[in-house]
Amino acid sequence: MKRKIISKFCLAFLLSLSLILSIFSSVQAAEFPSSWPQAPEIAEETGILMEATTGQVLFDKGMDEIRYPASTTKIMTALLILENVKDLSQTVTFTDVITPDLAPGNSTINAQVGERLTVEECLYGIMLASANEVCTQMAVYVAGSVQNFVSMMNTRAAELGCENTHFVNANGLPDPDHYTTAHDLARILAEAIQNEDFCKISGSAAYTIPPTNMTPYSRNLENTNALIKEGEYHYEGVIAGKTGHTEAAKNTLVTAASRDGMTLVCVVLRSDGESRFIDTVGLFNYGFDNFHLSPVYWLDSENPSGYVTLPKGIESNVLTVTDSDDENTRTRTYTYQGTALYSLQASLPVLLEPTDSAENTQTSSLYRIKGPDHLLPGMIGIFAVLFLAECFLLGYNIHSKKNTIEEISQ
């Protein structure tokens, strides 16, 4: 009888937790203060403009709606290669694993089985020429198999806070189970641009692969991102990016640009024609023309604890500051016109001690939370614990009453 009661309560708990998760996983648009600068409209189905340092969203059009990434997948592929191969002069020998990717219509550099390229040359082939076969070969080179590499991609995405992303290959070729969101792609690029080699490679307008052991001529690669190379859509300050296209995904574009000490990441998905370049330029102009980074001070009155992205003319000293504590951590939230913009966390033991130096700031393990959406897992956890406790108490009471009745009947 006791097992049945426990089983019923466990089932009830799982069902209720599932309901809680479904409530919090629903797509919600970013909230902006009432006086936020008016953003431009875009033609794409979904898009985002995000400040890379703070993770603050400055523009949102369906940023958490699931879409196919196409070749913007290769941002994650290149990031993992750079994180796992320290010597870019290492030689990669191509094997027959690349054969399916050489089918007509695929983006390739026409690599041949047995051909040798350096890791650096492979990275240029991936980011500039969008070479699918190079992605597959590098996946095997790094992880031993494509399957292992894909597992690394999904693990890394989760580490970056990606909530609606799942990869099944290294190049972005169509698959129903290969998907992401504009928000998640922005998170991935924001991480990738912290790598200098990634920016050097992805931000290059062109690159030449010299003759190899099997190809007697040079391969001249040209970046497919029109914002990087000279031309109609060239944008000053672009540091990295990646285009993509499949019939299912339409045109996609992920780009980062830096000006005046601020770095913005723009993602537009499911674009027709050249609108992905036009709308990315429009969103970058909106961001750089209207916003700036303002420092916030907490543990150290001289060195900023972080930065918040605000409309020009507004500084962080006008923000409303609220603190909330749990057992070991204090969370400080900065709010403007009723909208939470930014949060910081620090260890309570450090806060309870005198803190007047940068050394104490480092000891505090201070870090940023990329926007208020990252508070949801904690809220879900609280709901789950409270519900589990309630189930336990209810089950205990029922069992106690049953024992009492049995004792009386005896």
Is 71 catalytic? The answer is yes
User: Would you state the pLDDT for residue 36?
Assistant: 92
Tell me which residue has tokens 């998907």: 179
Closest CA to 68 of 167, 139, 153: 167
Please check the confidence at residue 183 and state whether its pLDDT lies above 60: yes
State the CATH number of the domain containing residue 73.
Answer: 3.40.710.10
pLDDT above 90 covers a percentage of the chain that reads 71
Residue ranges making up the domain that contains 313: 297-370
User: Would you state the pLDDT for residue 326?
Assistant: 87
Q: Is residue 90 part of a domain?
A: yes
Say how far apart CA 87 and CA 118 lie, in whole Å: 10
Number of structural domains (the chain) is: 2
Please check the confidence at residue 402 and state whether its pLDDT lies above 80: no
303 plus 285 within the same structural domain: no
Please check the confidence at residue 335 and state whether its pLDDT lies above 50: yes
Q: Is residue 192 part of a domain?
A: yes
117, containing H or E segment: strand 116-118
Please check the confidence at residue 301 and state whether its pLDDT lies above 80: no
- Band (pLDDT 50/70/90 cuts) for residue 368 is very low
In degrees, rounded to 5, the angle at the alpha carbon of residue 18 between the alpha carbons of residues 12 and 24 is 140
* Partners of 267 in the β-ladder: 48, 254
Give me the catalytic one of 7, 8, 61, 71. Answer: 71
More confident residue, 24 or 381: 381
More confident residue, 345 or 210: 210
Q: Retrieve residue 195's tokens.
A: 């790598």
Phi and psi for 126 in degrees, rounded to 5? -75, -50
Tens of pLDDT, residue by residue over 231-251, are 999 999 999 999 999 999 999
Tell me which residue has tokens 């597959």: 136
CA distances from 91 to 117, 118, 121, 246 (A): 6, 4, 9, 31
Ranges 9-23, 139-153, 192-206: which has the least confidence: 9-23
Say how many C-beta atoms besides its own lie within 10 A of residue 91's C-beta.
Answer: 12
Please check the confidence at residue 108 and state whether its pLDDT lies above 80: yes
Q: Is 408 helix (H, G, I), strand (E, B) or coil?
A: helix
224 plus 313 within the same structural domain: no
More confident residue, 367 or 276: 276
- Band (pLDDT 50/70/90 cuts) for residue 365 is very low
Is 74 catalytic? The answer is yes
* Partners of 306 in the β-ladder: 296
Q: What is the mean pLDDT of residues 366-384?
A: 42
219 plus 354 within the same structural domain: no
User: Would you state the pLDDT for residue 327?
Assistant: 82
Say how many C-beta atoms besides its own lie within 10 A of residue 44's C-beta.
Answer: 23
Q: Is residue 6 part of a domain?
A: no
Q: Is 358 helix (H, G, I), strand (E, B) or coil?
A: helix
Q: Is residue 177 part of a domain?
A: yes
User: Could you say which of 291, 312, 346 is where a domain stops?
Assistant: 291
Give me the catalytic one of 2, 26, 34, 130. Answer: 130
Q: Is 172 helix (H, G, I), strand (E, B) or coil?
A: coil
Say how far apart CA 161 and CA 234 lie, in whole Å: 31
Question: According to the per-residue pLDDT averaged within each range, which of 18-22, 39-43, 324-328, 360-364 is highest?
Answer: 39-43
Mean pLDDT, the chain, as a whole number?
84
User: Could you say which of 269, 291, 313 is where a domain stops?
Assistant: 291
* Partners of 339 in the β-ladder: 336
309 plus 278 within the same structural domain: no
Cβ distance 304 to 322 under 8 Å? Answer: no
User: Would you state the pLDDT for residue 34?
Assistant: 87
Cβ distance 79 to 195 under 8 Å? Answer: yes
CA 157 to chain CA mean position, Å: 7
327 plus 273 within the same structural domain: no
233 plus 141 within the same structural domain: yes
Give me the catalytic one of 74, 250, 305, 364. Answer: 74
167 plus 304 within the same structural domain: no
- Band (pLDDT 50/70/90 cuts) for residue 352 is low
Ranges 120-129, 289-298, 340-349, 356-365: which has the least confidence: 356-365
Q: What is the mean pLDDT of residues 9-29?
A: 37
Determine whether the annotation assigns residue 370 to a binding site: no
Question: DSSP letters of 72-116?
Answer: GGHHHHHHHHHHH---TT-EEE--GGGGGGGSTTS------TT-E
User: Could you say which of 237, 265, 291 is where a domain stops?
Assistant: 291
Question: DSSP letters of 231-297?
Answer: STT--TTEEEEEEEEETTTEEEEEEEEEETTEEEEEEEEEE-TTHHHHHHHHHHHHHHHHEEEEEE-
85 plus 127 within the same structural domain: yes
Say how far apart CA 245 and CA 172 lie, in whole Å: 9
pLDDT above 70 covers a percentage of the chain that reads 78
318 plus 256 within the same structural domain: no
Q: Retrieve residue 24's tokens.
A: 């919090």
Q: Is residue 248 part of a domain?
A: yes
219 plus 361 within the same structural domain: no
75 plus 217 within the same structural domain: yes
Closest CA to 242 of 70, 85, 47: 70
90 plus 113 within the same structural domain: yes
Q: Is residue 20 part of a domain?
A: no
